[in-house]
Amino acid sequence: MRLNFATLSSPPQKAVGQLGTGGTRSIHAGLVRPTFPADAWDTVGHPPGPIVMKQEEVGHLSHLSHPEKNEVGRGEPSVHGAVPLVPPVPPVSDSSATANPDRYCWPHSKALNSAEIDTFTARVRQFIRCGLDGTKAEGLADALVVRDRDADDRRLCLECRHLKAGGSAWSCAQWRGAGLAGAGDPADVVMLLQRCNEFKEATR
């Protein structure tokens, strides 16, 4: 067997398969960061640049995670920057509150207006003078607020100046004109809304 030294001295040839179709050429150099109008907050101050960057260009993912300066994000944080002074806001003066304190009360709502509060207070004092305890006096005065709003013209003996209280007993100074059988008024009559020709308002 004779060796062909010319063949052995030539560089080895790499065995390749069948040649396929050509691939798509990289266009990384042509890719740039998209630009938007000037009012797009995410791109303000960012000049166009390649999307694919080298590792040394990327740096740290957050500019807040490392003290070193880098170009990723929006630059250095401004938490230590000067904060502009905000002038104090003067309180709003509501002159209508002084001019009309009842603007949110009856008849605009169910809240007692000034006149109703004065009447309520006077009735409570009157009912206590007639022998009722404070809780019952306030409850009765509150019920009379509804009566007044309904324009009911009936009255209680407790509201009349002719009623005389003596402990737990009451008597009427005008019992004859009121059509009563006697001067003594039982409790069920004193607490009854009625119309009486002799009635005189005690709280006025």
Q: Is the pTM of this model over 0.85?
A: no
- The closest alpha carbon to 119, from 159, 79, 153, 150, belongs to 159
Give the pLDDT score at 193: 94
Q: Is 74's pLDDT higher than 80?
A: no
Averaged pLDDT, 49-53: 51
Average pLDDT, the chain: 74
* Model pLDDT for residues 92-117, shown as the tens digit of each residue: 665 555 678 899 999 999 999 999 99
Q: Taking the CB of residue 147, how many other CB atoms lie within 10 A of it?
A: 14
Instruction: For residues 160 and 111, give the distance between their C-alpha atoms in angstroms, rounded to a whole number.
Output: 26
Q: What is the mean pLDDT of residues 54-62?
A: 50
Instruction: Report the pLDDT averaged over residues 177-200.
Output: 87
> What is the pLDDT, as a whole number, of residue 179?
87
Segment (H or E) for 165: strand 163-166
Q: What is the pLDDT of residues 168-178, one digit of tens each?
A: 688 999 999 98
